[in-house]
Structure 1
């Protein structure tokens, strides 16, 4: 067949406008070192390293043969799973949720965070995002054609946004706002006073709040994290996103929830009606078993991360690397030594110490000067990583 011109694929503008996946480059660099036969300690990613607790795996094994789950599940998920997350929120946070109207089942928390922007933002609409922050907030806004305005998170304000610093013009334009505590990447935590300020700010300017509570089970020093939904008025102005990925080491299972304002939950369910047909029923049954079963595994996991945190900071003190200890999550937000950018420091420790850390600039402009390190390796490997970095003599 004769062709007068070559066939061309033209991507939609929403594809060409997506933010660069910064951490894909980090993975490539790490893999290149591994391919050389190097013993790389990868602390740059947020992938839980522990297995899913056995009783949850057993629940899936027992549910998988059930022919009910071999058919299409209900579009918005089985009621028993929504009831299970409502029960967990009642027990953990004393928050009452209507399982049918105030709970949406998600293919992992990330999916819901991206869908929300598409539900609420028209092209040109303003969304407030934390800087530094989780890069997939940017992805959702970009796919919706929205415009981001950044809320700096600085050590001076305990890595909380300062709402008084948001101009009235920007606040009045904003339709959506993302917050995230315990925080990725800083490990900071929020208290009830901050959430009260958040509800007041959102109500005043008619801004929907999206609280990313992915690390909601991981709080240190005897201080369990506070849920946004515990705040009076929270359900009137927003939703919270919860995931089983971190709480139960179920990252690969892809189970998350949006919780709160019934109008927003209805919008999320509506958009998902067009994308999906809910999760495999066996996974939903196992997820319900995780939420309603014994929670000792969650306490043990948090204790493991706290012990790793303490081990890490003990090793850091030996090499003169000073930083604030995180109050939650499994991340540590560490300043780079003088004379280095976050990217140059990350490159040096990878190339010369075979340790992967995530450069702060990948989380936003105000992430510069820091690296993110994950507590996602055994104590001995964390100590080894810091010992290797210490041999580079980069700190005081």
Structure 2
């Protein structure tokens, strides 16, 4: 971003660069740089390093163990993390359920869960979507029946990212059948080791396993794991979704992919000249870079409002979500285009590191198609683009 940073912000920028250069494990850096598959241990090793520094939850208020990062510090950290090939952070804990717990949770819930989120010793997943309740989340049917000092949970969640890695799930369940569907929803914290919780993998067309179906069969969840009041889960869910959609700006990912795109364009030759010298192609690259700069400004404004105590608001967070996901998709399209026929080969051995198969073709062509296929889902998960536009029309334009 071409902004005038203060002396304090420049010092923070230098500190972030020095820390990442010194602390990011080289094997993880190379996996990210080369678009290789990351395992649970790869994410957790880096997140624990950040946790020891206090940076895994850098944006949290100091009273909850955070660093109280400013909006600009948050953007600086994510931009540099992208430039220096850091893994995408698993934000279900620090950016989603963490703020819900420290805002609405009991003292006991805060004491139990916030330290483990801060140091990344616990991996969380999100139990929202169901087979009949995706963008229309209020249609969810997973039920939590009163069992005395516990709930008996039955139902199914789907498209649950990294549930096979997760230790805990924050989950929306139906505890009532009121006329207004949102009034019967509650927010539960569920230990994934609970008997009756079953995780089934969903293998995606990019060949990777990151999504799952989760089944609940008479799973007994203590009532002490209820966040806030029974039947007010929709309120807490909306609070969380505003944070999630801001995370969907994909700042780190876009920064990394743009850097990669320019590197590939300088290496690939088309009709005897570098792709970087093709004015038509580079005009497409410049156009998406301009869109990204506008997104960064919008994100800075939104984060500044949130740090000042104002909610992100559904209109602002929806704008960030739409633009962030569409820009990420466009960059992956350009990377596939830049890699050309070399990107068509599916080489699971080198991609997943499961054997010693030799790489065929240039290294930069191994990952773009997998990233492109994954990014097709970006404009669906977290609330589809069509739904986000409806939210903006209602809240921003009053339609």
Normalising by the smaller structure, the TM-score range is under 0.3
Normalised by the length of structure 2, the TM-score is 0.27
1 or 2 for the larger relative contact order (CA 8 Å, sep ≥6)? 1
Higher helix share: 2
Using the size of structure 1 for normalisation, the TM-score is 0.27
